[in-house]
Structure 1
Amino acid sequence: MDAERYDRTRPRYPDALVERIVAAAPGRDVLDVGCGTGTAARQFQAAGCTVLGVEPDARMAEFARRSGIETEVATVEAWDPAGRRFDAVVAATAWHWVDPVAGAAKAAQALRPGGVLAAFWHAFQPPAEVLEAFATVYRRVAPDSPFRMPTTGSALDAYQMMIDKAAGGIREVGGFGEPEQWRFDWEHYYTRDEWLDQIPTQGHMTRLPPEKVAEVLESVGAAVDALGGGFTMPYSTVAVVAARTDDAA
């Protein structure tokens, strides 16, 4: 993974989401699970929080450290809180990599009573022309890949599955109140170059050789050119949030 490209191209999270999580937490000590390069962690830090990141990819963790985020290299399932307690455990576009039960159990262990667990994702849907161009070329360059870019339906549907899975893990572990769902809608305009810069950071693309990535970028770039050289992306940032109760284990 190209950590610098990832940090440069991946979108920030709505300030309103960060502010709502901070307001719901009993204090300002935050654990960022799967912090990556520190995008969300820096936003929480700017909101007055002390942030510790946990990140399994050493390259990402090193980038986060260079950007001012204290970061430990581990999966959250294997990470040892060592008696440390936090007011919020957050996971920004990362909880789908975490075992939902083991992750919720570790969050319950690390949170103070009243602390919040908040996992959130960006749901987004490029224009149909861009989606179709990507799906067509991807089928050609990676015919054996199980990944398929959906060209119909709502992007929120896939993320609702992630939220339901996360909420199920929280309920199974216990020690939390009933999970809530939050949603923040916003938009971002991408130029052709900005969108093509982000595509190689997507998980399925990181497994392709450079020449196949170039073929995908050429096809998608042509589709964006046909739209006038850019497009407005609608985003919905969706979150599942639960507060740790006093009787949590």
Structure 2
Amino acid sequence: MGKPSRIFVLTGSGISAESGISTYRGGADGEEGLWSEVDFQKYASPEGFSEDPEGVHHFYNVRRKQVREVQPNSAHYALAQLQSKLRESGGDLTLVTQNVDDLHERAGAEVLHMHGEILKGICDMCPRPAFEVQGDLHISDGCDACGRIGTLRPDVVWFGEMPYHMEAIDVALSKADLFVSIGTSGAVYPAAGFVQEAKMRGIKTMELNLEPSDNAYAFDTADYGKAGEVVPRWAAQWGVSL
């Protein structure tokens, strides 16, 4: 049997950790995650934003600055090159990320952000499309579309909200012959359920992670180590060379 030609890749915060972006739940090396430092109910929920919009804006302004200061790592570049190679040969790689940074794009990949993008903003009160945030967001900012003050927020999916692109994700997963999860905790749904959906459809599954995830038992194969090492090693079988 030849190598898979239609691959569905799901990435989580573990792939960006080596670039210097903090994970949410920490890692095997003892690093504390963001949710051990702050209350996610305050900084990642509509209720928290309503109670303290200034504090929530500050939290995301700091993280936005951090994203702008870091660079993609070898795992990001390996996936971008693999996506390009597969498409050139008539295959495909659908890249879906739970991350809100833009490191996949800067490495050259096309990606679906199911949890939004921290470098973009939206208005809570009007259908204005997501817009690029050049600096910081503040409660004193007004919406260019509806004119309301204090309604702008990061384009980030918070707890209790529906992730983006779910229909497109389901279609892409149904067409895949390999599902690969990279740098995820396996604890956040609906993404944590993708491996089970893949198995029910007869799709081979693989985990590339620093350590076994919460749902590691569900994968057919796995390779554990730093994303910057295991992802390029895996992609090398298609001729990807960094």
- TM-score band, normalised by the shorter chain? 0.3 to 0.5
Q: TM (normalized to structure 2)? A: 0.36
Q: TM (normalized to structure 1)? A: 0.36
